[in-house]
A and B are shown apart, each in its own frame.
Chain A
Amino acid sequence: MVTAPPREAGETGETGRRRVTGRPRLVAGLLVGLLCLLLACAASLAFGAESVPPGKVVTALTDYDPTDRDQLVVRHLRLPRTLSGLLVGAALGLAGTVMQGVARNPLADPGMLGINAGAALFVVIGIGWLGLSSFSGYVWCGFVGALLAALLVYGVSAVGREGATPVKLALAGATTTAALGSITGALVLSDTDTFDQYRFWQVGTLSRTADIVGQAAPFILVGAVGALLSGRFLNTLALGEDMARTLGQRVGLVRAMGALSVVLLCGSATALCGPIVFVGLVVPHLVRTLTGSDYRWVLPYAAVVAPALLLTADVIGRLVARPSEVQVGIVTALLGSVPFILLVRRWKAAEL
């Protein structure tokens, strides 16, 4: 007991020192991340099935001439696509981080936990049964589906003795995805027109028109602000539920707010671009290796790194199969499964 005070002082001194040296480094890192994001945006505008000279890309943005075909491509196809990549990437990165924080579970990811599948099912119901054809119509279906699936998966896995462990959550998510997917499959099977729309939507693609991207933007921005503000609460929650409660945090309220922003982010991102897996799972882990576990830094980093990676994946998908393309959802699923499996392998069996 006698040695306790000096050790405590040493610890605060150390963290204090780390903060002084750490913060400029973290800010600098964030700036580098922003630079990478800008480069990814530039690549997304510059490369595609059609080759457009770089000069024309710049003129299309600064001095737009609607009669030039190349400028038309940049302005009407690549610009909205880049914007939707930015929005969806940030949404998925933030949603994944918040989910991992709220569920205190390293495997939480909107794609793995069936949230995308829930949104997909309800979007199909919206297209097929309610006859919705505009984004503003079926985005609400996406929200409802995302919310219900999140409640279902989390509820099912949290019932037991040890609460929602990684394995339980992943299994509940995978089985819910399978179950919802087969219901979706049954629906689209009996309706060829809906199926034809759905099969292109379900792969996850960023090519959307500008007005649809504009309609999704407010939802994602509100969700993103909510997520970015939650860093402090997630830090407290990371200490454990009991500790957080002792420190005066209203755990239930924080969880509800976190879930709300996740549903806003995932529901609108999925309704906009279709289900995209692994981005929300991998990005937070990647970011944590740079920032440490402080959610106040993990969140903004994730919001920058995730869209940069998503746009890069999209550019790769456009370039590997010219003149056609591989949709971004496929590229992320294929590339993202590698870090996921590495993550799983790194844990000891006992931790899982």
Chain B
Amino acid sequence: MSAVVTERVAAARASVRGTRRTRQRREVLVSAVLAVLVVAAFVGSVLYGTRTVSLGEVVEAVGGGGTRGTYYLVVELRLPRVLTGLLVGLCFGLAGALFQTLLRNPLASPDVIGISAGASAAAVVASVAFGLSGAAMSLSALGGALLAATLIYLLAWRNGVSGQRLVLVGIGVAAALTSVVSHMMTRSSAVVAQEARIWLAGSLNGRTWEHVGTLLFAAALLLPMTVAAARSLGTLQLGDEAASALGTRVERARLALIGCAVALTGVATAAAGPVGFVAFVSGPIARRLLGREAPALLPSALIGALIVLVSDQVAQHALGSNQFPVGMVTSIIGAPYLLWLLTRANRRGRGG
């Protein structure tokens, strides 16, 4: 009798282990494929453009050799731009997945709940009212994101923060901040307003090694912190009560994760402007690829990078003679996907 039970328990264990292994294998496989695609997009972006260069020329230029023209094109123009795109994509993808998992709502990305709006408002005020540009403007964008997030978090606080209340408060704050942006646009000359508008759409134009350096430094700081904080994400996803029953300090863990996600959003927005919908679509695509509900942080980050790199190529070269900011392409791809997702999420009676 007991032998039968032990046998059954062993069988059940084996099947659980099997499922877990298949899942892990799938996650590793998906991440590997995505990483290969990101590398391919990265290399492709460096090689192709209005003038195509060969891989040998790139290696030569990076080593300091080659013609002066190639060196300028590869090292001064393309590499900083593509690296910024890669890092910004990683940050946005990761931040979006964090928010969506934390608030247990597929629609709660930093674009929707007012954090990008905070960064935009601060940047536009800095550039129009105080004439700042470059690093100072980026810093104020970061400050704006942090400030907006703090404001939203405090306003939504009422014996703890419920995900849905946070989303609604965020929408309200976003509406107020967007009006500040609109107001600043009317107070400036058409040229300054048009420049601000391009930044607001999210652009990788004219990025330098300075941008890449700041971004790399921030990413090197934030990514390990996020990985450490994300350990409690699995239990948090079960719901507040279940999570605290399992020994997670819910508010503290959530605050840490939100802090990481906000900082990632702010850093990325400071470097490239609020590239629309990247944070929003990366998580859902990753979950779809994995075929299950899981935080899926690594795949989301890779998908974010892939989207930004490919969209930037499309925006630069595929749309006739005009060069568009990358955020416009991501928005036009992201918007219909978002609405389709909304109907699907609703049909399953969850989220939204």
Bound complex: CA of A192 vs CA of B197, how far in Å? 11
In the A-B complex, the 5 residue pairs with the smallest Cβ-Cβ separation, listed nearest first, are A160-B346, A179-B335, A333-B179, A182-B331, A161-B349
| Contact partners of A156 in chain B: CB under 8 A | 339, 342-343, 346
Contact A192 B194, CB 8 Å, known A175-B107, A200-B186, A333-B176? yes
A337 with B172: CB separation less than 8 A: yes
A189 with B325: CB separation less than 8 A: yes
A185 with B201: CB separation less than 8 A: yes
* Nearest chain B residue, comparing its CB with the CB of A187: B328
Bound complex: CA of A343 vs CA of B324, how far in Å? 40
A326 with B339: CB separation less than 8 A: no
The minimal Cβ–Cβ distance linking B271 to chain A, given in whole angstroms, is: 19
B183 with A157: CB separation less than 8 A: no
The minimal Cβ–Cβ distance linking B126 to chain A, given in whole angstroms, is: 18
20 contacts between A and B (CB under 8 A): A107-B168, A112-B171, A160-B352, A172-B352, A175-B342, A178-B277, A182-B332, A183-B335, A185-B201, A186-B328, A189-B325, A189-B328, A202-B182, A278-B175, A329-B182, A330-B183, A337-B175, A344-B165, A349-B162, A352-B164
Interface centre among B162, B201, B277, B335 (most CB of A within 10 A): B335
Q: Is A221 an interface residue (CB 8 A)?
A: no
Contact A182 B185, CB 8 Å, known A174-B174, A189-B201, A341-B169? no
* Nearest chain A residue, comparing its CB with the CB of B164: A352
| Contact partners of B169 in chain A: CB under 8 A | 341, 344-345
Q: Is B243 an interface residue (CB 8 A)?
A: no
Besides A175-B342, A195-B194, A347-B165, 4 other A-B contacts (C-beta < 8 A): A112-B171, A172-B352, A185-B197, A186-B201
Binding stretch for chain B, among A135-143, A163-171, A301-309 = A163-171
* Nearest chain B residue, comparing its CB with the CB of A188: B197
| Contact partners of B155 in chain A: CB under 8 A | 341, 345
Q: Is B173 an interface residue (CB 8 A)?
A: yes
Q: Is B312 an interface residue (CB 8 A)?
A: no
Q: Is A199 an interface residue (CB 8 A)?
A: yes
Contact of A349 among B165, B186, B193, B200 (CB under 8 A): B165
Residues of B at the A interface (CB closer than 8 Å) are: 105, 107, 111-112, 155-156, 158, 162, 164-165, 167-169, 171-176, 178-180, 182-183, 185-187, 190, 193-194, 197-198, 200-201, 276-277, 322, 324-325, 327-328, 331-332, 334-336, 338-339, 342-343, 345-349, 352
A183 with B179: CB separation less than 8 A: no
| Contact partners of A212 in chain B: CB under 8 A | none
| Contact partners of B336 in chain A: CB under 8 A | 179
Residues of A at the B interface (CB closer than 8 Å) are: 107, 111-112, 152, 156-157, 159-162, 166-168, 170-172, 174-176, 178-180, 182-183, 185-186, 188-190, 192, 195-196, 199-200, 202-203, 277-278, 324, 326-327, 329-330, 333-334, 336-337, 340-341, 344-345, 347, 349, 352
* Nearest chain B residue, comparing its CB with the CB of A200: B186
Bound complex: CA of A72 vs CA of B334, how far in Å? 50
Bound complex: CA of A111 vs CA of B332, how far in Å? 22
Contact of B179 among A178, A190, A277 (CB under 8 A): A277
| Contact partners of A326 in chain B: CB under 8 A | 183
Bound complex: CA of A8 vs CA of B155, how far in Å? 44
Bound complex: CA of A25 vs CA of B251, how far in Å? 48
Contact of B331 among A107, A166, A179, A195 (CB under 8 A): A179
| Contact partners of A324 in chain B: CB under 8 A | 187
The minimal Cβ–Cβ distance linking A320 to chain B, given in whole angstroms, is: 12
Bound complex: CA of A336 vs CA of B343, how far in Å? 29
Contact A345 B346, CB 8 Å, known A179-B331, A189-B325, A333-B178? no
| Contact partners of A330 in chain B: CB under 8 A | 179-180, 182-183
Bound complex: CA of A344 vs CA of B155, how far in Å? 10
B186 with A183: CB separation less than 8 A: no
Interface centre among B185, B186, B197, B349 (most CB of A within 10 A): B186
B179 with A175: CB separation less than 8 A: no
* Nearest chain B residue, comparing its CB with the CB of A193: B190
The minimal Cβ–Cβ distance linking A94 to chain B, given in whole angstroms, is: 21
| Contact partners of B276 in chain A: CB under 8 A | 178, 182
Contact of A157 among B190, B200, B277, B352 (CB under 8 A): B352
Contact A152 B339, CB 8 Å, known A195-B197, A341-B155? yes
B190 with A196: CB separation less than 8 A: yes
B339 with A112: CB separation less than 8 A: no
Bound complex: CA of A172 vs CA of B346, how far in Å? 11
Bound complex: CA of A192 vs CA of B175, how far in Å? 25
Contact of B185 among A175, A199, A352 (CB under 8 A): A199
Contact A186 B158, CB 8 Å, known A156-B343, A203-B183, A341-B169? no
| Contact partners of A170 in chain B: CB under 8 A | 167-168, 171
The minimal Cβ–Cβ distance linking A162 to chain B, given in whole angstroms, is: 7
The minimal Cβ–Cβ distance linking A192 to chain B, given in whole angstroms, is: 6
The minimal Cβ–Cβ distance linking A14 to chain B, given in whole angstroms, is: 35
| Contact partners of B178 in chain A: CB under 8 A | 333
Bound complex: CA of A172 vs CA of B338, how far in Å? 9
Interface centre among B176, B185, B197 (most CB of A within 10 A): B176
Bound complex: CA of A194 vs CA of B335, how far in Å? 23
A167 with B346: CB separation less than 8 A: no
Interface centre among B158, B172, B200, B276 (most CB of A within 10 A): B172
Bound complex: CA of A55 vs CA of B335, how far in Å? 55
B349 with A162: CB separation less than 8 A: yes
Contact A327 B197, CB 8 Å, known A178-B112, A186-B331, A352-B165? no
Bound complex: CA of A166 vs CA of B168, how far in Å? 10
* Nearest chain B residue, comparing its CB with the CB of A276: B179
| Contact partners of A166 in chain B: CB under 8 A | 168
Bound complex: CA of A190 vs CA of B178, how far in Å? 21
| Contact partners of B176 in chain A: CB under 8 A | 333-334, 336-337
Contact A186 B112, CB 8 Å, known A160-B347, A345-B155? no
The minimal Cβ–Cβ distance linking A156 to chain B, given in whole angstroms, is: 5
The minimal Cβ–Cβ distance linking A287 to chain B, given in whole angstroms, is: 20
A349 with B324: CB separation less than 8 A: no
Bound complex: CA of A271 vs CA of B128, how far in Å? 27
A175 with B112: CB separation less than 8 A: yes
B349 with A352: CB separation less than 8 A: no
Contact A179 B339, CB 8 Å, known A203-B179, A334-B179, A337-B173? yes
| Contact partners of A352 in chain B: CB under 8 A | 162, 164-165, 168
